[in-house]
Amino acid sequence: MQIYRVGGAVRDKLLNYPCHENDWVVVGSSPEEMVALGYRPVGQDFPVFIDPRSGEEYALARTERKSGVGYGGFTFHTSPDISLEDDLIRRDLTINAMAESDDGSITDPYGGQQDLENKVLRHVSDAFAEDPLRVLRVARFAARYAHLGFTIAPETRELMSAIVNRGEMTALVAERVWKETQRALCERSPDVFIETLRSCGALAVLLPEVEALFGIEQRADYHPEIDTGIHTLMALQQSALLSDKATIRFTVLVHDLGKAITPKDILPRHTGHEARGLPLVKQVCDRLKVPNQHRQLAMVVTEYHLMCHKSLEFKPENLLKLLTVIGALKSADKLDDFLLCCMADAKGRKGLEHQDYAPNTYLRAAREAVIKVDVADLVANGLKGADIGIHLKQRQIDALSQFKQHYQP
């Protein structure tokens, strides 16, 4: 029985890149022996065990054979005579098909170290094309390491396109697509994830609402980059600089979906794209089973991001309405997230990446002015129910009127 550290932990150690997880493979053992040694079985499809001391997963070396369509269309075989090389060849990329023994020596039968040195993402074998999930994984690794200069090998891109062209992407269940998408959005360059999916045709299958943005023109005076798809990628880049939260990055990805269905006779203007985008955002969230926290922020930003950009022009009553509908009066965190998304949108334009975003400080200050309004005397004077709300709203409007008169950035 031999135990090896495998996969991402080995890859990132060789890259001197942060990694917080270990994956282990056990060669020459059996489920019965693992249980006898105190490991707790957890795998449903193939034998995986938890070390009760560390909480880390240990998988028996295995081979796999294509038996159906999609990510789950495989049968697995484990036995003590399966070699480490047999286990490693089933992995996706050469840089993920290395193992490290207890003494630190590296087993690298498929050229992973050379590809790390050359900064290439290359598939291990033609079996890569049997698993559609690998299209998403390669796109995620491209987003993870793009800043280091990594590129996808041409032959691997061809296999990714072949998977898409065979229609296998449609066999992926929503939970798997969302899990990989969420992880990719949290990588260093989430825009590269979208670009990679688009280049092999997968974006049109998995996120057709985003694919539809490319080629849609915008007014050059507002968007020097012109193309709405390019703007979305630029805004996604900015969101990655502003926040590491998946909620922020997902929201920025989908905030302009309504521009894809702008009536052609009003282009390059996009009047009303906010309202047009709401059903599309809901459609994406429903299809991918996006968590409610992401959905709620995406819907709010889609509907009100243009109002945020123009908020310095608002009259006090409209400013109060904006702060109310985005949830800012109830939660400073909701305002923070909303503003980060709107800031990424504003900065995601050619030549405007470094501009200040005035609504950021303005709306924060406006919120402070509103929440300082006191209602204790209204209750003491005998007002009740709706009357309290009416008087409170007027005081808040008055407070914002005073705020606007004296506000200095």
Q: What's the pLDDT score for residue 68?
A: 52
Q: 160, 190, 206: which is the final residue of a domain?
A: 206
Q: Report the CATH number that the domain containing residue 18 is assigned in CATH.
A: 3.30.460.10
- At residue 275, what are phi and psi to the nearest 5 degrees? -65, -35
Mean pLDDT of 353-378: 92
Q: What's the pLDDT score for residue 360?
A: 97
**Judgement on whether residues 218 and 196 belong to the same structural domain of the protein:** no
Q: What's the pLDDT score for residue 66?
A: 54
Q: What's the pLDDT score for residue 41?
A: 87
Mean pLDDT of 112-128: 95
Q: What's the pLDDT score for residue 67?
A: 46
Beta-carbon contacts of 315 under 8 Å, excluding residues fewer than 6 positions away, are none
**Judgement on whether residues 124 and 154 belong to the same structural domain of the protein:** yes
* Mean pLDDT, the chain, integer: 92
**Judgement on whether residues 79 and 32 belong to the same structural domain of the protein:** yes
Percent of the chain scored above 70 by pLDDT?
Answer: 96
pLDDT at 247 over 90: yes
**Judgement on whether residues 202 and 224 belong to the same structural domain of the protein:** no
Q: List residues bridging with 25 in a β-sheet.
A: 4, 59
Q: What's the pLDDT score for residue 34?
A: 87
Q: What's the pLDDT score for residue 231?
A: 98
Angle at 12 between CA 11 and CA 16, to 5 degrees: 130
**Judgement on whether residues 71 and 177 belong to the same structural domain of the protein:** no
Residue 123, token pair as written in the block: 């598939």
Q: What's the pLDDT score for residue 42?
A: 86
Query: Tokens 């429903």 — which residue?
Result: 286
As for how many domains the chain has, the answer is 4
Residue of 185, 189, 174 whose CA lies nearest to 133: 174
Question: Is the previous residue joined to 268 through a cis bond, with omega within 30 degrees of 0?
Answer: yes
**Judgement on whether residues 195 and 339 belong to the same structural domain of the protein:** no
pLDDT level of residue 65 (50, 70, 90 thresholds): low
pLDDT at 72 over 70: no
**Judgement on whether residues 41 and 138 belong to the same structural domain of the protein:** no
Evaluate whether 275 touches 303 at the Cβ level (below 8 Å): yes
pLDDT at 71 over 90: no
Q: Report the CATH number that the domain containing residue 178 is assigned in CATH.
A: 1.10.110.30
Q: 110, 133, 160: which is the final residue of a domain?
A: 110
pLDDT at 398 over 70: yes
Q: What's the pLDDT score for residue 242?
A: 98
pLDDT at 260 over 70: yes
- In what helix (H) or strand (E) does residue 241 lie, and over which residues does it extend? helix 228-242
**Judgement on whether residues 186 and 45 belong to the same structural domain of the protein:** no
Please give the distance of CA 381 from its chain centroid, rounded to a whole number.
52
Q: 63, 91, 110: which is the final residue of a domain?
A: 110
Percent of the chain scored above 90 by pLDDT?
Answer: 77
The CA distance from 191 to 95, in Å, is 22
**Judgement on whether residues 276 and 354 belong to the same structural domain of the protein:** yes
Beta-carbon contacts of 222 under 8 Å, excluding residues fewer than 6 positions away, are 349
Query: Tokens 């990805």 — which residue?
Result: 253
pTM value?
0.91
pLDDT level of residue 81 (50, 70, 90 thresholds): confident
pLDDT at 289 over 50: yes
pLDDT at 346 over 60: yes
**Judgement on whether residues 228 and 359 belong to the same structural domain of the protein:** yes
**Judgement on whether residues 290 and 389 belong to the same structural domain of the protein:** no
Residue of 257, 220, 240 whose CA lies nearest to 351: 220
**Judgement on whether residues 341 and 257 belong to the same structural domain of the protein:** yes
Q: What's the pLDDT score for residue 401?
A: 97
Residue ranges making up the domain that contains 376: 367-406
Least confident of 40-54, 101-115, 219-233, 346-360: 40-54
